[in-house]
Amino acid sequence: MGRVPAARGADLGDLAPARAGPLPGSGSGRHDDRALRDRERSAAQPVRPGLLPYGLADAAPAALAPRLGRGRARQGAVLARRNCTQANWASFLALHVPAAAGYGGGPNTVQHPGSGPRGSCPGSITSSRRSLGRRVAVSCTDARTRGASRDSFPPARSRPGVPLVDAALLELGTRPIRPDAPGGDPARDDAEFAALQTEVRKLELPERPAVNWDIVVRNGTAILANRSKDILVAAYLTVALYERRGLEGLADGLQMSKELIANFWDTMYPEVKRARGRLAAFEWLSERGSAAVRRLGDKPVKAAQVEACQERLKELSDLLSEKLDGAFGTLSDLRDALNGLNAEEAAPPPPPPPPAGAAPPPRPAPSAAPAAVGAVTDDASAEQALNEAKRLLRQAGEYLRTKDPRDPAGYRIPRVAAWLTLRQLPPAGPDGKTQVPAPQPPDLLDRLETMLANAQFPGVLQEVEGRIATAVLWLDLHRLVAQALERMGPELAAAADAVVAEVRSLLGRLPGLPDLRFVNDQPFANAATKDWLRDRVLVGAQGGAPAPAASADAAEDPVAAARDEAVQLARQKKLPEALGLLSGQARRAPRLRDRVRLELEAARLCMEQGHHETALATLEGLENAVRHGPVESWDPEVAADVLRALIACRQRAGVKTPDDAQRVRELLGRLARLDVVAALELGGKR
């Protein structure tokens, strides 16, 4: 049996030699070869199994960390333990840890002792000691594990003041699953992924149950290490690392994600052909990561940690833009959140005390007050000031809304912050399609509509208000909030008016915004939202000017006057009176066009109040009258309005049978002859 340095009880410090190069708290950086050789000779003795309990994965890293740097000892120990068939933990420590730490002045081969319940490993560990910051090669020459040989201790990626990268995490982005399939296999159907996603999806639930981030970290790490290089898992893990370790964990997660892209782009999951799926993972990371970072508020954080996150985020963003079309700006929300943190430089060390008996230094003469910190002197400082103002406005709005949900300022201020620097429309093609990433998750709008229909109004507010800063151009959200507030009673009417007023102000500056689309062809404003914009937001408004309480054209248009009065009644929870008003006006209207419009307004009011069955019955009757009467031929605009409302109502009620689906297709075909754009918008929701 070979003789190796053995672990003596719990005294693991003797396993690690003096390091090569100075570290904090050390004196000289020179190697003390004589002391090192003495230590090796005194430590060499036969291995005694069972000195340490099997599976104590943190024991060796804890002993080596002061010499090897944070993370590097753990990576080497865990990696070697996994790849070597030597099962006895004490023998493993005695063999792998001294070799990894660099015993000996040059290459050093230590034979396996061959003890342990699983038999011996016939290979050997070869190490080469070099200076810290370069590589220490550790490989097992056993034929069964030779394919896993690698540099176990990558150089620490750091500079003064910036945290080191956790090498164990970095390995997730650099170490292949296996030689024949570096990216591994799909893992979305595995139990580990299901448990991980169950925790993450709690973030989307209205009741907001607590997420067990430990499960996300544990399962995410296991999947990336042993099963699949999945970029969505990496995104989940990055946010979980922030939740568990703060900015230091976020920096490590960003670096790991970058390495994953750099090393496994062609073999990772989702596959290359599923570019949209890959982009969605980073959109989720930006949205959820920014929301988590913004919870820090004004709390001071270390500037070095913020800088590390910013640098690694930029590297990840640049690499993603290089690899994936349409990825530019995907991580901008997270970048803005980091830029808005209250970063503080580390306080300088206090000056040394004056020598005994020395005269006190002369007091300096009074000087003028220093210039204000953060003074705006150029474009960069102006942008920084605006970002800071937006951050404070968001915090103020959230505080006011949480304190009193009836306060209009709690809804107005966050929208002012979100749209403060929005000066022009995003670039778009002739069809209105932009490169703006689509909202995530894809089913969010349907879930919010369902919550609204089920009178889960506080849940709608909680879900939407938390997304305003990250879904700046998505107008559907504001329609949902306004309708939820209106249905919660007259005491929240002023809050609903505040939402409407801010949307009106935005569209006054950017009137073409509702006609644009996200990169996946989802509209910024769907058909229901466009109806809301027309009937509630822009009614009577000219060039963005605020609309009065009653429509400006109400005096000339009896339909507009009746609609305004009915809306006010509905907001006071007097829906039967509102519908009675519209029905009475429709019976008395002398023109067929006005009768149809008034009944259409009654149906829309039912839809807004969540009474879809009543709305559907009204709209089916209207559609039948339009189809068999003269309206469709001589007033196609009104006919198209009826069809749009009927299709939207059927979709909200749910397409439950083949007959329902056939009916929707038939209506879409008729609508396409009257308004092809509206038909395309509604057809995309099937």
Give 576-612 pLDDT, tens digit per residue.
888 888 888 888 877 777 888 888 888 888 888 778 7
Residues 35-45: tens digit of each pLDDT: 444 444 434 43
> What's the farthest any 2 CA atoms get from each other in the chain?
110
Strand 124-127 versus strand 136-140 pairing type? antiparallel
**Number of other CB atoms surrounding residue 265 within 10 Å:** 18
Q: Where do you find CATH 1.25.40 in the chain?
A: 191-344, 558-683
Fold classification of 558-683 is 1.25.40
- For the chain, counts of helices (H) and of strands (E): 26, 8
Please tell me the distance from the alpha carbon of residue 404 to that of residue 569, in angstroms, as a whole number.
24
What is the residue-wise DSSP string for 483-536?
HHHHHT-GGGHHHHHHHHHHHHHHHHH-TTGGG-B-TTS-BSS-HHHHHHIIII
Residues 428-445: tens digit of each pLDDT: 888 889 988 887 777 888
Whether the link from the prior residue into 5 is cis, omega within 30° of 0, is: no
Please tell me the distance from the alpha carbon of residue 227 to that of residue 172, in angstroms, as a whole number.
11
DSSP 109: E
Please tell me the distance from the alpha carbon of residue 226 to that of residue 254, in angstroms, as a whole number.
20
Q: Are 228 and 183 in contact (CB under 8 A)?
A: yes
Residues 131-184: tens digit of each pLDDT: 333 333 333 333 333 333 333 333 334 444 444 456 778 889 999 999 999 999
CA torsion, ordered 656, 662, 663, 668, to nearest 10 deg: 120
Residues 294-345: tens digit of each pLDDT: 988 888 999 999 999 999 999 998 898 888 776 666 788 899 889 888 887 6
Q: Are 391 and 291 in contact (CB under 8 A)?
A: no
CA angle 644, 648, 652 (to 5 degrees): 170
Strand 301-302 versus strand 150-153 pairing type? unpaired
Residue 491: exposure state from Cβ atoms within 10 A (0-12, 13-18, ≥19): exposed
Residues 356-402: tens digit of each pLDDT: 555 555 554 444 443 444 577 888 788 788 888 888 888 888 888 88
Q: Are 91 and 47 in contact (CB under 8 A)?
A: yes
Residues 287-305: tens digit of each pLDDT: 899 989 998 888 899 999 9
pLDDT of residue 216: 94
The values of phi and psi at residue 559, to 5°, are -65, -45
Strand 4-5 versus strand 108-111 pairing type? unpaired
Which residues pair with residue 45 across a beta bridge? Answer: 4
Please tell me the distance from the alpha carbon of residue 80 to that of residue 141, in angstroms, as a whole number.
12
Tokens of 164: 């080191």
Residues 467-516: tens digit of each pLDDT: 887 788 999 999 999 999 988 887 888 898 899 989 998 998 888 899 99
Amino acid occupying residue 400: L
pLDDT confidence band for 16 (50 / 70 / 90): very low
Interhelix angle 658-674/636-653, rounded to 10 degrees, is 150
Strand 301-302 versus strand 343-344 pairing type? parallel
Tokens of 463: 């879900």
Mean pLDDT of the residues in the chain = 71
Q: Are 275 and 428 in contact (CB under 8 A)?
A: no
pTM above 0.75, yes or no: no
Fold classification of 191-344 is 1.25.40
Residue 47: exposure state from Cβ atoms within 10 A (0-12, 13-18, ≥19): buried
Amino acid occupying residue 611: H
Compute the Cα dihedral for 20, 22, 24, 25 and give only its sign: positive
